Chains A and B, each alone.
Chain A
Amino acid sequence: MVSTRRNRGRKGQELIEFSLTALLLAGLLVSSFVVGMNLIRSIQVNQACRDVANMYIHGADFSTYPMQQLTQRLATGLGLQIGTAFTGNSATNTSNQGNVLVTLSRVMYIGATTDPNCASVGASHCTNANSFVFTQRIQFGNGTLANTKPSTLGNPSAAATSTAGVIANPVTDAGAKLPAGAQGSFGHLWGTPLQDGQICYVVEFYAQSPDLNLGSFLGGGVYARSFF
């Protein structure tokens, strides 16, 4: 009788031990999976960002559908959507769903009023002297992601821009300037200040990861940017 009671008391002990162990292992497994997948995604986003930057600096026109489609292929698995095919140029193709937003910026430094860029328009007309200006801005993918992760460069405000994203008058159009905050942060990137006319090609890639979201532990997105 005593033995039976003892046996009954041990019933479920293995189950409890297994549950405790499984809980530990499952947590380890899930977190390893999520961290690992996020790291893999980070590698992929960085690679895609780098590849796009490399093509951008070599003259590829990402305001065209073929180049946006190529980016989509580079970002396979990340969920970049660019909508239906279009002809010509679309520098702001952001009315799409999906998990990725790609932002390409060509930024130039306009030097002092005596430097060539200001001299080319006349010093008195050189609105953007001693400033970083956008000379091109292209964005495609899911535009709403800019609310989650806006471009670190800000946006050209009301500058006259073509369908290819080219700013018509970067030296004289005040709307071409990087916002005040970005002027400082972008300027601080450079150990040696840029000279008049020097150009930096910036590609920003943001991929949200709703499938790999562990709340505040992992923020649910991967961001990469390349300065070429």
Chain B
Amino acid sequence: MPKQRSRSRQRGVSLVLAGLSLTFIVPAVGLMIDVSVLYSVRARFQAAVDGAALAAARALNLGQSTTAQAAAAQSNAVNWFYANFPTGSWGTSGTNMSAGTVNVFDDANNPHVRNVTVTASTRVPTYFMAWFGATSTPLSATGNASRRDVVVMMVLDRSGSMGASCSDMLTAAKLFTGQFAAGRDQIGLVSFSDNVYIHSSPTTNFQSVLGYKNNLGTGNGAIDTIVCKGGTSTAQAISVAYNELYRANLPGALNVLMFETDGLPNTLTLNFWDSASSTTGLKAASACTDKNGKKLSQGGFATAATLPSWTTGQTLSSGSYFGNIPAGMVGGIYSDDPGGNNQFQVLFKYWTTSTSNSFGSSTFVASTAATGCNFGGGKTYTPPPTDINWFPVKDVWGNKLSPGYLPVTLSSGKVVANSYTSYHNAVLNATDNAAYQARTNATVPAYFFGIGLGGTSTNPPDYVLMQRMANDPNGDNYNSPPLYGACSQEANCATYGAQPQGTFIFSANTSSLSQAFLSVSSQVLRLSK
């Protein structure tokens, strides 16, 4: 009987044990689910805070003052946070994220960086642990982002071929300046044709100095004074513009060359005195005379002291990357674009401090300093030229005419002067090298963004050259059908992964030129984060 009672007591023991064990198992499973939900919400919450921080940093260019920019950043952070994590997401409550939890401050170690810290908190509901009185779990997240100040030198082509497109270019340039943070970013301007004019070094006051247009207003400045005339001394312009970036000496900022052109480079500034060998680039039969009135055939041009001053030299501002350009046998050599007469022209005014912008070939070639020479006064050379024997392998800015993008004929280490094609290629090479030097400088490496404008001349910008200059591996993203392929598919194209990667945009006509400028500003601002 006791045995029977014992057995009957055993009935349902398994269920009782299972029931008892469930009191442990269910909370354990519940805890696991609650923790998993918490982790899921945390991932989502952190993403929202990160997005808010980055959006805030991106908005630091919106506004006409640094105070307004900080307010825009805070507003953007709130906007982006709640786009990612709407109020009540995942059953959360008490979410605290507002402009007051967005802190905008200057970096302690780099004065050209502004930081944004976004802090947010919320309470995540518990579904099982609530049975034990824990109805929610506090959760907080912090996100950081920074924005480097941007230092841009605009390099604008004001050559004659820009013609009627000049005003479109000026409008586009003002839209470009209007996108940057006044008072923080710095923008300067160089314009070029046969020669180069520095309108302004990089300045935080760029809106009033250069002019601007954005959705807050518009203003006139140096950009509005540009008049388009003359040739295309691109390599020199890039070097001069880069020199201004170098002088600004802000390696902690994002340094950018923003270049626009509508044609092919065709002019270089060269020194026809080789100081290493004390020889000139004159032909033996040249009628040019030195300071003492002697021709080369008469023993003239023997030393640097006897050199005539075709040009007076150019002293660069302090802190320059380049050395001063000496007085002497220095001048610009202009060459016709392909399809022309394949001629050269000697230009003397390779540099100008004039603010009138009344430039043009007739102004440049009117030099009386090249005594006896068969050039000047607008005369043109058909290769082989009467006076010139060779071109140096570097221009006065150190840009290599050879080797480079296209083949150039050399003789005794100098570029031959009797080949139009060789010189034309040399000009393109030097231009390519000017951008290369800017990108690869160890102290102030610069990003290069290039805009090519089509439809204004029979010789539009060289796509491959521009891809190389911008170090842009991509093909044409802005025209349909695309006008050129990826760099890897183009002959003679080369890009370098370790160098700053910019962008080349080809604007097929003036109607899309402003869009191209805005695209570049958008990409520069993207890089500044």
Contact = CB atoms under 8 A, between A and B. Distances in A.
Are the chains A and B members of one assembly?
yes
Give the size range of B's interface with the partner: 35 or more
A36 B33 contact: yes
B504 to A, nearest CB: 13
Interface in B14-64: 14-15, 17-18, 22, 25-26, 29, 32-33, 36-37, 39-40, 43-44, 46-47, 50-51, 54-55, 58, 62
B514 A192 contact: no
B152 to A, nearest CB: 17
Contact of A168 (B55, B82, B480): B480
A43 B54 contact: no
A116 B40 contact: no
B83 A189 contact: yes
A163 interface: yes
A28 B14 contact: no
A204 interface: no
Nearest to A136: B477
Nearest to B62: A195
B336 interface: no
B44 A46 contact: yes
A23 B217 CA distance: 72
Given A50-B50, A191-B78, A191-B82, A88 B489 contact: yes
Given A32-B29, A190-B83, A228-B54, A116 B175 contact: yes
A121 B514 contact: yes
Interface in A1-54: 3, 6, 10, 13-14, 17-18, 20-21, 24-25, 28, 32, 35-36, 39-40, 42-43, 46-47, 49-50, 53-54
A228 B11 CA distance: 62
B194 to A, nearest CB: 30
B482 interface: yes
B479 interface: yes
A24 B26 CA distance: 11
Contacts of A28: 25-26, 29
A21 B54 contact: no
A81 interface: no
B247 interface: no
Contacts of B15: 17, 20-21
Given A88-B488, A162-B476, A120 B514 contact: yes
B25 A25 contact: yes
B75 interface: yes
B56 to A, nearest CB: 11
A47 B44 CA distance: 8
Nearest to B85: A227
B480 A116 contact: no
Contacts of A162: 475-478, 480, 482
B36 A40 contact: yes
For the complex of A and B, 8 pairs with smallest distance between CB atoms: A120-B514, A160-B480, A17-B14, A39-B36, A166-B477, A21-B18, A50-B47, A46-B43
20 contacts: A6-B4, A17-B18, A35-B36, A36-B32, A46-B44, A57-B54, A58-B529, A59-B523, A88-B488, A116-B175, A116-B518, A120-B175, A120-B517, A122-B511, A162-B476, A168-B478, A168-B479, A169-B480, A228-B55, A228-B80
Interface of B: 4, 7, 11-15, 17-18, 22, 25-26, 29, 32-33, 36-37, 39-40, 43-44, 46-47, 50-51, 54-55, 58, 62, 75, 78-80, 82-84, 172, 175, 178-179, 213-215, 474-480, 482, 485-486, 488-489, 511-512, 514-515, 517-518, 522-523, 526-527, 529
Given A25-B25, A54-B54, 12 more contacts: A20-B18, A21-B17, A24-B18, A49-B47, A89-B474, A111-B215, A115-B215, A161-B480, A168-B479, A169-B515, A189-B83, A192-B75
